[in-house]
Amino acid sequence: MSVKNITVFGAGLMGAGIAQVAAQNGFKVVLSDVTEKALQNGLQIIQKSLARVAKKRFAAVSGQEGDGEGAGWTREVLGNIKTGTDAGQAVSSSDLVVEAIVENLEIKRNLFGFLDRKADPRCIFASNTSSLSIGDIAGTCSAERLTRFGGFHFFNPVPAMKLVEVIKAQHTSQETFDTLVAVAKKMEKVPVSAKDTPGFITGRLLIPYMLEAIRMAERGDASPQDIDTAMELGAGYPMGPFKLLDLVGLDTTTFISNGWREKAERGEIPKELVAKIPMLQKLVDEGKLGRKTGQGFYNVS
Ligand code: CAA
Ligand code: NAD
């Protein structure tokens, strides 16, 4: 199936990035969120990132920053993005919906149940969830839609990270899977195939690692700074786990951990992976959510 029009739900860190790379690669994008303020936040993220990309792409050509060619390209990319808070209208001519809203199963299920009644029956639905089951998220959709429902998991920061995990859930058709792979490639990403298991490939390894790093600091075994330095210089990671936690968002990390607790209750993952972490909860309670609020484990303003 040919995809031209993409609707992205959620104009936060991930939705903004996904809308940007789609628009950069010629797709017509509608970016939708619940408030105008959230949409403005998303557009700001996109503009900041585009300035960075344009500076790099066009500096070699012109030797100057922010001049005509870069500005023209930026205008063209932004011209591919429309925004709106009316979810029904946002999917009225959509070929593909990519959902990147808050990591909460019930909220995602409600959105997809609503969209299932509004979107064209041929429209493909996909979720960018980090940790929830695609089958569970899709559960409010019709049997027909389930064949057109898959996982489409991007990485943060989306414009810089090359990977997309494409998840074939129980009912995802081969055609849907192939279409998502083709869209990922057109977005200049490298797709890998993953099953609908907790955290897919990357999250199943990264989430326990990040949570264990907080527990290590909480036990007083080492400071966050020393743990980061150790993993950067000793293991070659581009950023240590605390810098990564601040990048991902401590709210999102908490939602992921809470969601996984239910999976642990069902025996899908070991319970000790998701035991509550007071140090993380305290920061979230104080509104210190990482880069998005200017403070998390580090002061990042
Ligand atoms: N927009 C556009 N480009 C960006 C960007 C952005 N927001 N952020 C970084 N870049 C680009 C830079 O322009 C630069 O490009 P070139 O190499 O072509 O010049 C490149 O990315 C590297 O950026 P910097 O030189 O500024 O900084 P860096 O070398 O420190 O890299 C980083 C920054 C890419 C974020 C790197 O630190 C990194 O890879 N960190 C790990 C990120 C990671 O693990 N992400 C996954 C999180 S988990 C997840 O996403 C899944 C989940 O479900 C929770
Ligand atoms: P975020 O908090 O930055 O943004 C979430 C956005 O969703 C907000 O703008 C919010 O207003 C909006 N939203 C909430 N309910 C909505 C609804 N019903 N309809 C439309 N918009 C709604 O979150 P994020 O970090 O962008 O994460 C979004 C999704 O992507 C989550 O499922 C998360 O697990 C996943 N993800 C996150 C990362 C990461 O590093 N942060 C990486 C990969 C995947």
Polymer length of the chain:
301
With a Cβ cut-off of 6 Å, ligand 2 is lined by: 9-15, 32-34, 38, 100-103, 107, 111, 128-130, 154-156, 248-249, 252
- Please list the helix, strand and coil fractions of the chain in percent, rounded to the nearest 5, in that order: 55, 15, 35
For the Cβ of 155 lying below 6 angstroms from any atom of ligand 1, the answer is: yes
Tell me the domains of the chain and their CATH numbers.
5-195 (3.40.50.720), 204-293 (1.10.1040.10)
Say how far apart CA 124 and CA 117 lie, in whole Å: 13
- Give the residue whose CA is nearest to atom 45 of ligand 1: 156
pLDDT over 80 at 126, yes or no: yes
Contact in structure between 9 and 100 (CB atoms under 8 Å): yes
Stretch 88-108: mean pLDDT, rounded? 98
To test ligand 2's pocket by mutation, which of 7, 9, 14 has the most ligand atoms within 8 angstroms of CB?
14
> Which is the closest atom of ligand 2 to the Cα of 110?
18
* 35 half-sphere exposure, CB direction, 13 A CA radius: 4
Closest ligand to C-alpha of residue 209 is: 1
pLDDT, one tens digit per residue, over 213-264 is: 999 999 999 999 999 999 999 999 999 999 999 999 999 999 999 999 988 9
The pLDDT value recorded for residue 67 is 60
Q: For tokens 């319970």, what's the residue?
A: 271
Average pLDDT of 174-185? 98
Residue 202 Cα: closest atom of ligand 1? 51
The Cα 290–Cα 244 span in angstroms is 9
- pLDDT > 90: percent of the chain: 91
CA–CA separation, 281 and 284 (whole Å): 5
pLDDT at 65 over 60: no
Neighbours of 143 (CB within 10 A): 7
Question: Ligand 1 centre and the CA of 160: distance in Å?
Answer: 5
Look at residue 62 and tell me whether its pLDDT is greater than 70. Answer: no
Residue nearest to atom 44 of ligand 2 (CA): 130
Output the residue whose Cα is nearest ligand 1's atom 9.
Answer: 160
Q: Using the predicted structure, report yes or no on whether residue 61 has a pLDDT greater than 70.
A: no
64 pLDDT higher than 90: no
Q: Which ligand is closest in space to the CA of residue 85?
A: 2
Task: Specify the pairing of strand 96-99 against strand 149-153.
Answer: unpaired
The separation between the first and the last C-alpha atoms of the chain, rounded to the nearest angstrom, is 44
As for the ipTM of the complex, it is 0.97
Average pLDDT over residues 37-58: 96
